[in-house]
């Protein structure tokens, strides 16, 4: 009799456990649907777990879609040969200087908007966001003029051959002249993320991606009614896709009903005090990124001394690495938004806890991605190119750089969170030390003096990025970011 009762109790216990797990799974799927569709929660009042799910899922998807741009462009351009891929790599290195300003503006916009949203001041958030856009548009106009006049000279400075410049420099000119589509996409998505409207930012990149993927082969190879434009077609397709994405962002912020922000006509009137405050917050963020991106230019310049095949291998390898790392950047963006909004809501403890939890999640994700890359880099690269020399060089790049993936993942969250708190100065100093004083001299020493060639550059990157992560954690633990005024 007792045996029967015990069996019934055990069955009931297992049934209850099953029902509990099923309920948790249903809640998780419901939250995922909410995250993708867009939600109107106050993230500072939610549990950390739910807030991270609702913010990080669309941001991760946004970053994955961003990586589709990277992968598809290099896939189609690789059909034009190693020289064309090399020009794309050199152009991307030049554009990273421009991206430094765009991302620096986006960091500041995210910090200001998230803080105002946390303080429950959406009108002030909208006004500050439009002032940020006025600065961004002015800057992009200056870059477009410089790109139109000096694109060939910039490629020569980067070490491109005269033949490559003669055949492919139109790609560089188009990308520099059309820089506004990229910079505005960064800043507007930074504004949307700061407001907690990550789902809109995700949909923007989905639309931009679709247009780019369709136009890329048509314009490069002249499919259907389109002319065969070669590498120039890749640049035009990218600018068209991103440009339409920017129009969708503006529509959502001016006429949309689901955004937490709503731009008004009076917001367009320049406010010198707001612009000064934005630039004051932006300068350290821009400089920290200029330090990082200029170091990448220096590294590519070292790699270019070993020939176009080495640059092509690096370009393909780094594009795939970016594909793996962008989802981690999405989680980092979610952490930065939570930090800014919780500081605005006077809850620094929750802001700090969101960083440690997000950092652990990111480190695990990046560790798994790094393990896959270490095991099968050649198989992955072969999807993009069939050139055996490029595959070999790209595999070296991926295999070495993936060693530091766990450190990259955690460091990304910490640095993004410092920026999200408005402390852009600390990451600037960290970047100055790790990239200019450590990475470039070490890369030159290993590659040139020790004869390790491009492998020396890759080892220097791993060492410098790991040092950056450790230093950022020490700075974060000191807690000065909690007192940052934005």
Q: How far apart are CA 25 and CA 31, in angstroms?
A: 10
Sign of the C-alpha dihedral computed for residues 8, 10, 13 and 14 taken in this order:
negative
295 has pLDDT over 70 = yes
Q: How far apart are CA 313 and CA 195, in angstroms?
A: 39
The CA-CA-CA angle for residues 325, 297, 309, to 5°, reads 80
Contact between 397 and 454 (Cβ < 8 Å): yes
252 has pLDDT over 60 = yes
Give me the residue spans of the domains in the chain: 52-483
4 HSE (CA, 13 A, CB side): 1
- pLDDT computed for residue 258 by the predictor: 66
Q: How far apart are CA 66 and CA 72, in angstroms?
A: 10
369 has pLDDT over 70 = yes
What are 370-390's pLDDT values in tens digits?
A: 999 988 889 888 887 788 888
Q: Which residue has the higher pLDDT, 290 or 180?
A: 180
Claim: this prediction has a pTM higher than 0.85? no
Q: How far apart are CA 97 and CA 353, in angstroms?
A: 33
Q: How many residues does the chain have?
A: 486
35 has pLDDT over 70 = no
Q: What DSSP designation does 302 have?
A: H
């Amino acid at each position: 009799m007792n045996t029967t009762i015990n069996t019934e109790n055990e069955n009931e216990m297992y049934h209850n456990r099953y029902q509990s797990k099923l309920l948790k799974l249903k809640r998780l799927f419901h939250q995922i649907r909410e995250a993708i569709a867009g939600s109107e929660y106050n993230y500072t009042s939610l549990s950390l777990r739910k807030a991270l799910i609702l913010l990080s899922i669309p941001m991760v998807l946004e970053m994955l879609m961003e990586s589709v741009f990277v992968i598809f462009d290099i896939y189609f351009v690789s059909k034009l040969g190693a020289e064309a891929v090399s020009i794309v790599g050199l152009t991307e290195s030049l554009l990273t200087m421009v991206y430094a300003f765009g991302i620096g503006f986006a960091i500041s916009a995210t910090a200001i908007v998230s803080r105002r949203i946390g303080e429950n001041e959406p009108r002030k958030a909208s006004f500050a966001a439009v002032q940020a856009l006025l600065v961004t548009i002015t800057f992009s106009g200056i870059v477009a003029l410089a790109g139109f006049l000096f694109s060939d000279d910039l490629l020569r400075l980067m070490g491109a051959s005269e033949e490559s410049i003669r055949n492919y420099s139109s790609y560089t000119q188009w990308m520099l002249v059309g820089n506004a589509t990229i910079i505005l996409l960064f800043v507007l998505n930074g504004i949307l993320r700061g407001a907690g409207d990550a789902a809109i930012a995700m949909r923007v990149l989905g639309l931009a991606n679709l247009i780019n993927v369709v136009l890329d082969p048509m314009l490069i190879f002249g499919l259907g009614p389109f002319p065969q434009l070669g590498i120039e077609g890749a640049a035009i397709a990218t600018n068209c896709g991103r440009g339409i994405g920017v129009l969708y962002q503006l529509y959502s912020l001016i006429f949309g009903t689901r955004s937490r922000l709503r731009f008004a006509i009076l917001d367009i009137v320049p406010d010198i005090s707001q612009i000064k405050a934005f630039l004051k917050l932006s300068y350290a963020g821009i400089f920290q990124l200029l330090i990082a991106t200029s170091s990448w230019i220096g590294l590519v310049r070292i790699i270019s001394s070993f020939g176009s095949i080495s640059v092509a291998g690096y370009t393909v390898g780094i594009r795939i690495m970016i594909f793996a790392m962008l989802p981690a950047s999405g989680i980092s963006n979610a952490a930065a938004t939570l930090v800014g909004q919780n500081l605005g809501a006077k809850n620094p403890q929750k802001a700090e806890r969101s960083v440690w939890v997000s950092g652990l999640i990111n480190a695990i994700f990046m560790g798994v991605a790094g393990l896959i890359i270490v095991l099968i880099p050649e198989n992955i690269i072969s999807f993009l190119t069939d050139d055996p020399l490029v595959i070999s060089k790209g595999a070296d790049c991926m295999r070495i750089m993936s060693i530091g993936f766990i450190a990259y993942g955690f460091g990304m969250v910490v640095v993004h969170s410092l920026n999200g708190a408005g402390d852009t100065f600390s990451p600037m100093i960290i970047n100055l030390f790790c990239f200019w004083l450590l990475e470039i001299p070490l890369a030159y020493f290993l590659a040139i003096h020790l004869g390790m060639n491009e492998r020396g550059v890759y080892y220097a990157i791993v060492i410098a990025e790991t040092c950056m992560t450790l230093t950022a954690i020490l700075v974060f633990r000191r807690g000065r970011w909690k007192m940052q005024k934005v």
